[in-house]
Structure 1
Amino acid sequence: MIDILPDCLIQKILCCLSFKEATRMSILSKTWLQEWSTLPNLEFTINCWEGNINTANTTMERYRKGKIPIQKFELVESFANSREDFPLIDKWLDIALQSGVKHLSLNFKSYPMPILRILAAKSLRGLDVQGSMPDSLSSGVVNCKSLRKLSLSNIRLDENIVQTLLNSCPFIDSLILEYCSGKLQKIKSDSLKVLKIHHCKIEEIDARNLVSLDYVGAQIPELNKIAGESNQLEHSKFGCINHLNAAWFCKLRKFLSNSPSWSHVSLRFINCCEIKMKDLLMDHIGSTPRVDVLNVNIEWMNQNFVDALLWSCHPRRLNLFSNVTPTITHFIDRLLFMMNSSHSISDRSLPWHSQLKEIKAFDEKNQSLPLICGELAKRIRMEGEKVYFLLDWCS
């Protein structure tokens, strides 16, 4: 009965599975075996101790002789002291590149990746590299106009490597940098729309057409003016212990001021240092940035944290996440104080927090909740309920 499915549907099903799962499905019948043998997605983890190098080589030879197209090729090198096998890896990459591969995912421990030969492939649209990258690249050596997505993780980077790759691949619209050592002075690209930087040191971002930014790190980089709407700024809760102070919030406000609007901003903290509000107010930067949704995840905070946070941006919706009851209680108390200040002061220019006109609380079913601090804190902390606040600010 399983053979009544059309061949194209069988291959589509197999493509939705991992390569290992698809291999298991190939025993169902000759039809499934045939479709598995021409899968466009290949995935190999090479370990000389497991003796699977010959299996991978046989498979790649079959694809070469049959001129079977490869859309996605994933290769993980998990062995050491295997230089004698480097020619085989060279051959497999050549087979994949010559077959018109569109996405390469490469994780190498010791193999010297031929990045220039890879970028010369006219079909390549996505490149994911982990663990290995040449120490330097010569600018202008390649011109890869097909690449759209580049992901680099767990490798040592310098500004020359990243900027040369961006210059050589002028149409990259998605860049991911994760857990890379080294320090980058600047990322500059007019083509980037999606940028993800997790735990990499970067001082400046110049990408005026960004529409999505996901940043996790201890220090906020400089952000040049961008034209589009950015989606997410995320800060690592592990990087804030010694850096979350007045200067940090000044940088946050300046960072957010360089985009016309933000749909989502997510901030995660573990603790914060002393925050002197006088230092913040002396560093006034134009109008306060507006954020549609602000997600705040914090464990411990001092008395000025809420003031500093809402000085740096004015969210329309605020989602609060915490496991510490005193933190939740103080956060909500401070919000209510700001709202009450607004109602009692006729001059809306002083003090700055009088700009908060109204607060409404809702549960995850969008049902209105009474603004009773103890009850809301219990819902968030004890019951794990998702409570959010709608904030109405003076223009």
Structure 2
Amino acid sequence: MEEFEEDRLSSLPKIILHCILSKLPEKDAARTSVLSKVWLDTWYTFPILSFFNKNIMGRSSSKSQPTNYKHIFDVRMRKRFCDNVKRSILRFHDQSLAIKEFKLKVELYKLVDNLKDVDIWLKLACECGVEVINYSLDVLVGQDQYHVLPICVIEAKSIKKLVLKGYIKIDPTFMNHSIKFTSLRVLSLWSVLLGDRHTINHLISFCPLIESIYLSYCYVLSSDDGTMEKKKSLSISGLQKLKRVDTFGIQDVSIDSGSLETLCYHCPINFNTPLKIDFDRCGNLKELWMWSVNGTFFTYKWFLEQLPKFPFLESLMLNNCKMPERIDISCVRLKVLELSHCSNLKEINIDAPNLLSCGYKGSGASLPTLCFLRNSSRPEVNIQVDYVDFCNLREFMQNIKPNNVLTSLALSISNSSNVDALDPVASHVSFPPPSIKHLTISYVPQNKYLFSYVVNILLASCCPATISLSIDSSGKEFIEFFYETLMRRKEGECFCSFHDTKCWWHDLKDVKVTRRSMKMDENVDFKTILESLTTFESIIFRLDF
């Protein structure tokens, strides 16, 4: 018998073994400790420590057990978790090993008596030169307990990334201490409590190297009565390294940064008063993403006068925003444009010679005119419309100029009972349908009498090279109807027989059917494919003209 083959992987330098562990899911990385002594030592010195009290404790005791027994069980589980965290950190602390990342997620209703332990863990991690702290604190619904972030974290010189989530409070008394966030690059705060409205501005003013700021629905204590209120304003200036800002739920945002490259703004939920978003002085902006801006911020004048202030803009994404009826987008360097569910739009004029990708998602009774004024090459134009717009699809396709710019079309044909009651009527069209690479259909109406209307509108609206249907098992009947319609290819059996222009159906020579999991050269008949189709698996029609 041959001797056991040498374990070459274990002989690699520890820094490479640590790199391997960092690429694995946390549970799989922990399992490597049983492979050999080398891997056990590698795990013990792995500088990414992650603790989640729910994962460590496992399931709580049975509800049928007496109350005293459950209490004793919970106490033991809390102690087990706390001992494990402290023991792991001390292993690094006592050996003067550096901790690269410390991730801690706790549930306050299980650790209400152990917040002092959390302070100790954070202190030890900071003394080990931790670079990343990701601390999340959940509480039982109805509780309003907050853990005051210990000063050791604010004063740590080694921290490059700080992520705080949940019931954590940044106390205003920190302003009286020497903040030493000289290495901080990323600051991310989710639903944390700020001592007052100046806390954030004071905090980031001591972060000369900060590159990314993320604020999501944070709260501040009112100076009048001490009650909590959502943070409404943010002002950022003087940060020379700042690259990215993401804000969620903040009403007024003012940013003065010549280095800023990405701005993501999410309007507060159910917010109707005028917004104040000032980023005019961010002349190097490359990416602008804005969600749910439903006030009077976007105007025709804004696109005409303000947008040109960002000559380096490469990506513009507007989602669920209230718009004027007409917008003119002129950006020389723009490569990606996404407009999704933006209301009021009737006309979109795009002057972007370097545009590579344009996406439009619409919902409403009408679809806008989409005109590409100048394009050096054919961009990837992807259109997605819902059934509510489906009856206007051919008119919309006609209003995309030039007519050869569209590359793919995605349709979501809702199967709700209300939609099934609609009776789409195809309007007269006197132009050849545009050729596109791909047509994707998601969901279909359930009423059979609508099948022919849907297919006829599709046949007269576009000429796709491939058609992909990704629907659940209830849509197999529509797929079969669609296939039989394509295979008939006879005069007088489609809507175009009522008009002067024939649809592409009559030029179709052959139809090949596959599903996404099949190889191209597999020869399987349509019936077999349809019967074996699993839920939401795509079936693909490849058309030969």
Normalised by the shorter chain, which TM-score bucket? Answer: 0.7 to 0.9
Match of 1:379 in 2: 439
Match of 1:349 in 2: none
CA deviation profile, 1:289-334 (whole Å, cap 9, x unmatched): 54512422334744xx153x54xx743425123265975xx43x44
1:43-192 superposed matches below 5 A: 43-47=50-54, 49=74, 50-51=77-78, 52-80=81-109, 82-109=111-138, 110=145, 112-114=147-149, 116-131=151-166, 132-136=168-172, 137-138=174-175, 141-156=178-193, 159-180=197-218, 181-191=230-240, 192=242
Q: Distance in 2 between matches of 1:373 and 1:159?
A: 57
1:323–1:381: 8 Å Cα contact kept in structure 2?
Answer: no
TM-superposed CA distance for 1:55, in Å, is 1.6
CA deviation profile, 1:36-73 (whole Å, cap 9, x unmatched): 01111001113574442222222222222222221111
Match of 1:388 in 2: none
1:223 is aligned to 2:279 = yes
TM-superposed CA distance for 1:32, in Å, is 0.9
Amino acid at match of 2:87: T
TM-superposed CA distance for 1:121, in Å, is 1.4
Aligned to 1:133, the other structure's residue is in SS state strand
1:223–1:258: 8 Å Cα contact kept in structure 2?
Answer: no
1:235-254 superposed matches below 5 A: 235-236=290-291, 239-240=292-293, 242-243=294-295, 247-248=298-299, 250-251=301-302
Amino acid at match of 2:252: I
1:319 is aligned to 2:326 = no
Say what the alpha-carbon RMSD is for the aligned residues: 3.7
TM-superposed CA distance for 1:183, in Å, is 0.8
Bigger mean CA offset, 250-259 vs 139-148:
250-259
Q: Distance in 2 between matches of 1:249 and 1:43?
A: 50
TM-score calculated relative to the size of structure 2: 0.54
Candidates 337, 340, 343, aligned match of 1:295: 337
Candidates 36, 52, 56, aligned match of 1:29: 36
TM-superposed CA distance for 1:11, in Å, is 2.3
1:72–1:102: 8 Å Cα contact kept in structure 2?
Answer: yes
**Which of structures 1 and 2 has the bigger CA Rg?**
2
1:238-387 superposed matches below 5 A: 239-240=292-293, 242-243=294-295, 247-248=298-299, 250-251=301-302, 255-269=306-320, 272=322, 275=324, 290=332, 292-299=334-341, 301-302=343-344, 305-307=345-347, 309-310=348-349, 314-316=351-353, 317=355, 319-322=358-361, 330-331=367-368, 333-335=369-371, 361=405, 363=407, 379=439, 383=467
User: Identity of counterpart residues, as a percentage?
Assistant: 20
1:193–1:210: 8 Å Cα contact kept in structure 2?
Answer: yes
TM-superposed CA distance for 1:203, in Å, is 2.8
TM-score calculated relative to the size of structure 1: 0.72
Amino acid at match of 2:137: F
Bigger mean CA offset, 314-323 vs 158-167:
314-323
* Unaligned 5+ runs, structure 2: 58-73, 139-144, 219-229, 269-274, 375-399, 409-430, 443-466, 470-545
Candidates 42, 54, 70, aligned match of 2:49: 42
How many residue pairs end up in the alignment? 340
Q: Distance in 1 between matches of 2:245 and 2:106?
A: 27
